[in-house]
Chains A and B, each alone.
Chain A
Amino acid sequence: MAVRDDIRRIRAIVWKDITTELRSKAGFNSVAALGVTILVLFGLALGPDGPALKDAAAGALWLAVLFAGVLAFNRSYQVELDGGALEALLLYPGARWAIFAGKLIANLIFVTLMLVIVVPVGIVLFSVSVPSTWPSILGVMMLGVVGIVALGTFYSAMSSRSRAREVLLPLLLYPMLIPVLLASMSATKALLFGDVMQETGAWVQMLAAFDVIFLVATFVAFEYVIEV
């Protein structure tokens, strides 16, 4: 009964966010362009020689996703605030977590689409040879993105409604994301280099555990940050 209604609510919010984005495309284009730009900057910072670039490719890619993603998360609530739509959204009957779930899924789709553009650019710029285990790398990327998006969607619910949101979101989010980033980078790097130390499995397990912990924590805590 109620669960079905909540699922309908989540779907409506996801659909609304995607429609808004499809009509303008400005947000997605600029965020994806920023992701590519960050990769270029990392490439320049790490120098032109091949081995160093290849070594740093996994780290650079995840940081590019993180830096570009932060803009997407703030935007996700910003579009609501501009028209006073968030108040209306909160006035609708139903559980608060449905709003969080809707925003979370919309951001997941957004960041995943960004990866579709950023990853091939990274492969080219950092001269990465794609290993045969690439489906596992895709899996690691999805797990990493879930962790980043869960915390990002949660913290931007606060930061977007405060003063100095551009500063506040990274300041709150980056330290919290250290475990997720560390696990994602290490697993990606291990897979890129053929998993010689047999460490990928442990990293992926940790990453999955972090995703579960942070998803549960943010779902519970969201009630407190969206009501006021």
Chain B
Amino acid sequence: MSPATSGQFGPPKPTPASLGWVAILFFVFAQVYSVLTSPADAMMGHLQKMMYVHVPAAWVTFAAFAVVLMASVLYLWKDDERADLLAASSAEVGSLFCGLTLVLGMLWGRPTWGVWWSWDARLTSTLVLFLIFVGYLALRSFVEDPQRRGQWSAAVGILGAINVPIVWMSVRWWRTLHQIQSNPRGLSPEYLRGLLLNVAAFTLLVIWFIWRRYEAARYERAAEHAAQAAALGGNNG
């Protein structure tokens, strides 16, 4: 552990503005394209269009939380504060999309299944994932000391990530004793094209979000370091 070495970095490179424009325009294109080209589903009708927002949101949620896990491991291993800031940024964006996934899923589930919520393994473990990362973000906001915050949240992030497959397993077992789970249905190519396009668009959006958030986090930390250095009379090394 070498607390003094971490955090000795200047302001970050700003996120390219073009990335944001490309992400937004691509997202609009992907949504319009997929909604216009996909035929109405035999069973769900135009409700099927929910797939183009719900499924990509779920995928990028898991991608963002995978980044949190990797960045947390990297932080504990290398003690590089930038990894901690990346984990925090991904956790914020991931929680946002996790919440979005849950809400969109409920909006989709109500007309198709007839219920807002079903206690199946996938829904329940996504909800638990959301709650774990709400706790993660709360922990970060309640701890001032940067090193303490970094190590604690890394530990919470890693344990939380370990817990999700365990929750999935236990809920599945709990469910299967009561009733059989619904199976995801196969997907025909005219739906798949739109879906993959939207997954790419969501991924680009999330990269942009995380990048911007990371940039802001870097500025915040640089400002904290500067304030700390000023308080200590010039040199905090």
Q: B-contacting residues of A (Cβ < 8 Å)? A: 154-155, 158-159, 161-164, 167-168, 171-172, 174-176, 178-179, 182-183, 186, 197, 199, 202-203, 206, 210, 213, 217-218, 221, 224-225, 227-228
Contact of B151 among A174, A179, A202, A224 (CB under 8 A): A224
In the assembled complex, how far is the CB of residue B98 from the closest CB belonging to chain A, in whole angstroms? 12
Contact between chains at B135 and A171 (CB < 8 Å): yes
Contact between chains at A217 and B162 (CB < 8 Å): yes
Contact between chains at B139 and A172 (CB < 8 Å): yes
Q: A-contacting residues of B (Cβ < 8 Å)? A: 1, 3, 76, 128, 131-132, 134-135, 138-139, 142-145, 147-148, 151-152, 154-156, 158-160, 162-163, 166-167, 169-171, 173-174, 177
Contact between chains at B142 and A163 (CB < 8 Å): yes
Given contacts A178-B128, A228-B145, contact A217 B159 (CB under 8 A): yes
Given contacts A171-B135, A175-B131, contact A213 B162 (CB under 8 A): yes
Q: What A residues does B156 contact at CB under 8 A?
A: 155, 158, 172
Q: Give A227's nearest chain B residue, CB to CB.
A: B1
Given contacts A168-B142, A213-B166, contact A228 B155 (CB under 8 A): no
Q: Give A182's nearest chain B residue, CB to CB.
A: B170
Contact between chains at B151 and A228 (CB < 8 Å): yes
Contact between chains at A176 and B163 (CB < 8 Å): yes
Give the residue among A182, A206, A221 with the most B Cβ atoms within 10 A.
A221
Given contacts A168-B138, A172-B139, A217-B162, contact A206 B173 (CB under 8 A): yes
Instruction: For the complex, give the distance between the alpha carbons of A167 and B162 in Å.
Output: 23
Given contacts A168-B142, A186-B174, contact A224 B154 (CB under 8 A): yes
Contact between chains at A199 and B177 (CB < 8 Å): yes
Q: Give B151's nearest chain A residue, CB to CB.
A: A224
Q: Give A174's nearest chain B residue, CB to CB.
A: B131
Instruction: For the complex, give the distance between the alpha carbons of A190 and B139 in Å.
Output: 37
